[in-house]
Amino acid sequence: MDLQELERLLRAYKTGELGENEAARRISNLHFEDLGHTRVDHSRAARQGFPEVVFGAGKTRAQVVEIVERLAAHAPNVLVTRTDEETFGEVRNVCTEAEWHASARLIRIRRDTQERGVGAVLVVTAGTSDIPVAEEAALTAEAMGNRVERVWDAGVAGIHRIMAERERLQRARVIVVVAGMEGALPSVVGGLVGVPVVAVPTSVGYGASFGGVAALLGMLNSCASNVTVVNIDNGFGAGFVASLINRKWGNAAMMNAE
């Protein structure tokens, strides 16, 4: 529950639209709502700028459905990551606005489409096999109120492909670069731009890539000072932090312009 919702609740109680018991019940959920298996954090948006996100792996379908139903009752946008199409089918029964994004294995409810970032978040992949992780980042950033652009398959094996996108790279406010194998692309992109680059190593690669560890270490050792790194295959984390950077930077830019 954000500040505006709390103010609406208090007004409704003051005018008599809400009884004392119902108002007390809703306020008691300000911090979290205990479902037995999960404590749903309804105040996450007020603290961090976006509602709690559901990590689908390891949860039963019934648990995911119940969590989504409670989140959707309080927040306009909801994300479920690392899930499957069968779970989506059950979520649709309680929330018809839900969308299924197969490549990212992600369920999204997006009722608020207001842009809160000033510029674009650009999501770039080294290869086509990196797209599922990149889509997780892109869909997250969109749900958090950003304009997102995508550049797929622009890895260093054909360096001219990323050089051809130099103008788009330099227009972006934040860039998410997703790469497996040796993880070289974020360093290349970082050297071309003066904005934050969020690097995402993926588990794509042959034996010596060690499930993404080679890419992770390569990115952590980047010589481009504007590159920061999230965990292997963590598209959600990259999209989230890129969104916060875009929003904060955008607000600061507007204040400086004034």
Q: Pick 29 or 246 by higher pLDDT.
A: 246
* Segment 38-76, tens digit of pLDDT: 988 887 887 777 888 999 999 999 999 999 999 998 889
In this structure, the answer to whether residues 72 and 19 fall within a common structural domain is no
In this structure, the answer to whether residues 225 and 162 fall within a common structural domain is yes
Does 231 map to a domain?
yes
What is the Cα–Cα distance from 127 to 184, expressed in whole angstroms? Answer: 12
What is the Cα–Cα distance from 132 to 137, expressed in whole angstroms? Answer: 9
Mean pLDDT along residues 131-149: 96
* 100 phi-psi bin (left φ>0, alpha ψ -120 to 50, beta other): beta
In this structure, the answer to whether residues 182 and 233 fall within a common structural domain is yes
Does 115 map to a domain?
no
Domain range for 21? 1-30
**Confidence at residue 210, expressed as pLDDT on a 0 to 100 scale:** 96
In this structure, the answer to whether residues 192 and 233 fall within a common structural domain is yes
Does 180 map to a domain?
yes
Q: How does the average pLDDT of the chain come out, rounded?
A: 90
In this structure, the answer to whether residues 90 and 135 fall within a common structural domain is no
Does 64 map to a domain?
yes
Of the residues 87, 110, 133, which one is the last residue of a structural domain? 110
In this structure, the answer to whether residues 187 and 215 fall within a common structural domain is yes
In this structure, the answer to whether residues 106 and 130 fall within a common structural domain is no
- Check whether 254 has a pLDDT greater than 60: no
In this structure, the answer to whether residues 54 and 25 fall within a common structural domain is no
Per-residue b or e along 81-112, where b marks 16 or more CB atoms closer than 10 Å to that residue's CB: bbbeeebbeebeeebeebebbeebbbbbbbee
Cα–Cα nearest to 121, from 133, 144, 138 = 138
- Check whether 98 has a pLDDT greater than 70: yes
In this structure, the answer to whether residues 97 and 149 fall within a common structural domain is no
In this structure, the answer to whether residues 97 and 156 fall within a common structural domain is no
Does 215 map to a domain?
yes
Does 146 map to a domain?
yes
In this structure, the answer to whether residues 156 and 200 fall within a common structural domain is yes
Of the residues 90, 110, 130, which one is the last residue of a structural domain? 110
Residue 181 belongs to a domain with what CATH number? 3.40.50.1970
Name the DSSP letter for residue 57. Answer: T
Of the residues 110, 132, 152, which one is the last residue of a structural domain? 110
Residue matched to tokens 């504007």: 226
- When divided into structural domains, the chain yields a total of 3
Does 230 map to a domain?
yes
Rg (CA), the chain: 20
- Check whether 24 has a pLDDT greater than 60: yes
Q: Pick 26 or 7 by higher pLDDT.
A: 7
In this structure, the answer to whether residues 153 and 192 fall within a common structural domain is yes
pLDDT band (50, 70, 90) for residue 8: confident
